[in-house]
A and B are shown apart, each in its own frame.
Chain A
Amino acid sequence: MNHLILAPILIPALSAVIVLLTARADLRLHRSLSLLAMLLSCSASIALAYSAFSGAPQVYAMGGWPPPHGIVFVLDRLSATMLVLLGVLGLAALLYASQGWDARGKNFHALFHFQIMGLNGAFLTGDLFNLFVCFEILLIASYGLLLHGGGQERLRAGLHYVILNLVGSAFFVIGLALVYGGSGTLNMAELARKLTVASPAEGVVLTAAGLMLLFVFSIKAAAVPLQFWLPAAYANAAAPVACLFAIMTKVGLYGILRIHGLVYGLDSPHIVRYAPFLLLVGGAVTLLVGAFGALGSRGLRELLAWLVISSVGTALLAIGLLGTEATAAALYYMVHSTLAAGAMFLLAELIREQRGSTGDLLRPGPNVTQPTLLGGLFLLGALTVAGLPPTSGFIGKAAVLASATHRPEVVATVYAVVLLGGLIGLVTLSRAGSVLFWNLGPSPDIQPRAAGVGRVLPVLLLFGLTLGMSAGGGPLLELMTGVAAQATDTSSYIDVVLRDSGGHR
């Protein structure tokens, strides 16, 4: 067994506890400890990805107890992709937060690492109940992070976010109960095996469970009509928190890919025949609702939050198209949109701070202190998010469109929706950019300070990665095809998990 598999969970857990135990120590100590831990867990993730991409999924049976009764962690290419994505995003968010945000409230670093721990655990676990527990860890940390910094707007958005997620958790538990009642197991591989031999009566229960879990993951992913919590939460969160939250919607997408794509199999009879159709239509509607929401936004951060919804819609739509090629396109787009959204939320904060009392509202205001730097980055970000060549957004959308051609009955609709969504995104972003940088009002008496290198660096890091994604578009898409092929190959997943850990009976 490869003990390194536990590192991305244990390192954040340990560092969070150490930060809590030394709560009275100097903030600088916490910062260096926190950054060190993040670097360590990020490098562990990269090392894991290196081994995951060179072979079959690896299984780690916790405490040596074999599945289906013991809890297993499974490292495959999909989880490795998510781990690395979270690693770099977390690193950028933490670098940014260490420039002052972490001092504006208590326990930022501890909460941050608990959130990383929950996310890494959710990506690695091979057990449904363990997935629920990891979700709760990342959620309770995210409640604290969302409220970080205080303020009325944050409180109001936080209350909605918490209540909605508690409802989601209740449904998650009911879904798990149905899974256990129908199959007698919560191990994902064992569940996948039982699904192939389920009696009609058990099949009905398992179908209901699958739909219940689809509902839960749709809340996390903020798919229409379950998107109402997102705009206020993301627009009001502290910038590094909003940056980290860029991956929160992707946890929902990951859940759908893992549970419905791999365990159930989206074309299996147990997840009702219209589930892919549901994803396709839901994705298209989400994409458009997100785009129109962005069109009606009053502030930059609100606009970005709606565009996050739109990007979730694009990925859902691609998952709903089925097939390895479409799933690979969805994965590429998901990675791109996480990095781009993270960078844009950090950039929005820099712009907001330099516009004095106008903030990020889209109306004439004073010129920013660093118009060339911030304007240039905004242009790059807008091109990336809207999906214009030569950015990674363009490659992602082109891959989604190309993969739609194997579904002649929906190809016209998919093209229309994706292109319309992209057009609206472009319109909103160019309007926002011209208002923010060209439509200038009177300058304030005291020009706000310019942003230091430490706060621009994380933005550059994330944008650099999206540029890297577009430069290496071909090889990366090929890599994602490998990820998608492994993430939809149910029978070899069952084999690997139940055989390698000695649990096959």
Chain B
Amino acid sequence: MPLLVSIATAALVGAGVWLILRAQTFPVILGLMLLSYAANLVLFASGGLTVGRAPILIKGVETYPDPIPQALVLTAIVIGFAMTAFVLVLALKARFALDSDHVDGDPVEPQEGR
């Protein structure tokens, strides 16, 4: 289980960083999303990974998973959503105002294979 989560996080971070280094805004935003997913996964795993425990209060159950990371990750997800929506709108606005989806607003160069 920890191995699986670690690999998933690493893959997300790797893909996210690679996409952020692209020059077009859309891949960059995708990369930001992957990076924030990875951050949320790390946050979620920070309380220790448990399987098969009751998530909410049930009579007669003694052991629960740590509730704090769940609360934290919920907050982080909400903030992440809001930020992603904002940067998407901003990128769209820049795309039409600057007539280019390059992150520097440079004129789009014709790419190979077009």
Interface residues of A (CB under 8 A from B): 129, 133, 136, 140, 143, 147, 152, 155-156, 158-160, 162-163, 166-167, 169-171, 173-174, 176-178, 180-181, 186
Contact = CB atoms under 8 A, between A and B. Distances in A.
A181 B83 CA distance: 25
A176 B83 contact: no
Contacts of B68: 180, 186
B42 interface: yes
Interface in B21-41: 25, 28, 32, 35-36, 38-40
A163 B103 contact: yes
A140 B94 contact: no
Contacts of B90: 143, 147, 155, 158-159, 162
A169 B75 CA distance: 13
A133 B72 contact: no
Contact of B32 (A140, A147, A160, A163): A163
A158 B105 CA distance: 11
Interface string B2-15: 00000000000000
B98 A156 contact: yes
B6 to A, nearest CB: 13
Given A133-B79, A140-B82, A162 B87 contact: yes
Interface string B72-108: 1001100100110011001101100110000111000
Contacts of B42: 173-174, 177-178
Given A162-B90, A166-B32, A173 B83 contact: no
B24 to A, nearest CB: 12
B105 A170 contact: no
A133 B75 contact: yes
A129 B72 CA distance: 8
Given A176-B43, A177-B46, 19 more contacts: A129-B72, A133-B79, A140-B86, A143-B90, A162-B87, A162-B90, A163-B28, A163-B32, A166-B32, A166-B36, A166-B83, A167-B35, A170-B16, A170-B35, A174-B38, A174-B43, A176-B72, A178-B42, A181-B45
Contacts of B98: 152, 155-156
Contacts of A166: 32, 36, 83, 87
A177 B83 contact: no
Given A173-B76, A180-B68, A156 B105 contact: yes
29 contacts: A129-B72, A133-B79, A136-B79, A140-B82, A140-B83, A143-B86, A155-B97, A156-B94, A158-B90, A159-B103, A159-B105, A163-B20, A163-B28, A166-B36, A166-B83, A167-B20, A167-B32, A169-B79, A170-B39, A173-B36, A173-B40, A173-B42, A176-B72, A177-B43, A177-B46, A180-B46, A180-B68, A180-B69, A181-B47
Nearest to B20: A167
Nearest to B9: A174
Contacts of B32: 163, 166-167, 170
Interface residues of B, number: 34
B105 A177 contact: no
Contact of A160 (B40, B82, B93, B103): B103
Contacts of B39: 170-171, 173-174, 177
B4 to A, nearest CB: 17
A176 B75 CA distance: 13
B90 to A, nearest CB: 6
Contacts of A178: 42, 46
Contacts of A170: 16, 32, 35-36, 38-39
A177 B45 contact: yes
Contacts of B93: 155
B72 A163 contact: no
Q: Which 9 A-B pairs have the closest CB atoms?
A: A173-B39, A181-B46, A177-B46, A177-B43, A177-B42, A180-B46, A170-B35, A170-B39, A156-B105
A178 B9 CA distance: 14
A69 B67 CA distance: 11
Interface-central residue, B47, B69, B105, by most chain A CB under 10 Å: B105
Interface string B45-85: 11100000000000000000000110010011001001100
A159 B88 CA distance: 10
A133 B32 CA distance: 18
Most buried by B among A133, A147, A180: A180
B75 A159 contact: no
Contact of A159 (B38, B47, B79, B91): B91
A147 B16 CA distance: 26
A236 B85 CA distance: 23
A244 B18 CA distance: 34
B23 to A, nearest CB: 12
Contacts of B72: 129, 176, 180, 186
Contact of B43 (A140, A160, A163, A173): A173
A166 to B, nearest CB: 5
